[in-house]
Structure 1
């Protein structure tokens, strides 16, 4: 345990251009490589596998936060939940056949988080509470590169017009994307348990080539 003033880090503020795009206006951003805790799965966004994945991710994310604060005197904010969405048959995605959707839920981590620290913390979480999906948590990097994104306000089911805006911006600029490779990305800034659906804030992002 270190004995020095605690440093405070809020990545969401440092990366404001990536986590606070304009409401209703699609914009271009470049997303560099970041490290994430991830859990992969398939099926309904609110199904049991998804709920278990989210529980495991937050368990490890908060354990990392407390471990780093204690051992390194760095207090960093836990980042919001994010999700990548696609399907092996993108017709299922377009036509909202959610049972066939593939997903990766994830939480971004600061650059000083290491594989060794994640493994150590996962062992600690396993001894204390051992959430069902803990064994599926992995630590990996993702570099999306050039992307278009927009802030959506309201229920997830009403994202359609905003998704169309970012797709239109990409196509009108002469670029393309393949949904199974450049995956639809959502960043959930609101806690649906505490916020009315009409006030939910979600960053909707689409990488392109």
Structure 2
């Protein structure tokens, strides 16, 4: 059977529409950083194309001459994004709509199996560069992401309707002895389980995750 991270890691990819707390393990990603409105930015579209290109190059290595050590067949995990703002303000996604989306700083990323080493990643970049030389392979990096303790919730609906769900998540975090703890690394996190090209906006499913710290731990610092 083909391994599916969404099926096997239900606590990470199948939260309920009521918020919960989760301790996210270290996960390996291919990541691309950028800035701008994801709806209009060519940089964002190129980043997503690069991520999927590399991810599927690795997945489909089973049909080529190079098979990574430890390879197993799997479903490519969903696109994810870390979000902040470039104006120095703290972005919590706390229920307030961001009017100027050109201020977004983002890191888009796709999870990789643990057999994807730096050697495998370098091979994938070389292989994809031969097929799509217009893509800038230098923009992508392979890294292990430590997210840790988080509050999360499933949002069902259009992306622009997320503020109400985020406000619900923040209320849950504060009401259960935690505080949202954003850093340069641990940021507002979204996992996109639906394809906006094929799914009606009201049926889109997006996991929203905020890093947290127990208040008693904060008081000891």
TM-score (norm 2): 0.85
Q: Is 1:183 aligned with 2:181?
A: no
1:66 Cα deviation (Å)?
A: 0.7
Match of 2:145 in 1: 142
Match of 1:38 in 2: 31
Q: Is 1:19 aligned with 2:19?
A: no
Instruction: Find the partner of 1:158 among 158, 161, 169.
Output: 161
Match of 1:208 in 2: 212
3-state secondary structure, aligned to 2:26: strand
Match of 2:82 in 1: 84
Give the stretch that moved more between structures: 56-65 or 9-18: 9-18
Unaligned runs of 5+ in 2: 214-221
Please give the alpha-carbon distance, in whole angstroms, between the structure 2 residues aligned to 1:102 and 1:50.
10
Match of 1:3 in 2: none
Match of 2:48 in 1: 54
1:108-160 Cα shifts (integer Å, max 9, x gaps): 01111111101111001001113434320110111111111111111100011
Alignment root-mean-square deviation, CA:
1.8
Distance 1:69 1:22, change over 3 A: farther
Unaligned runs of 5+ in 1: 1-6
Q: Is the 1:39–1:136 contact (alpha carbons within 8 Å) kept by the matching residues of 2?
A: yes
Match of 2:218 in 1: none
The aligned length equals: 202
1:106 Cα deviation (Å)?
A: 0.1
Match of 1:8 in 2: 2
Instruction: Find the partner of 1:67 among 46, 61, 65.
Output: 61
3-state secondary structure, aligned to 1:75: coil
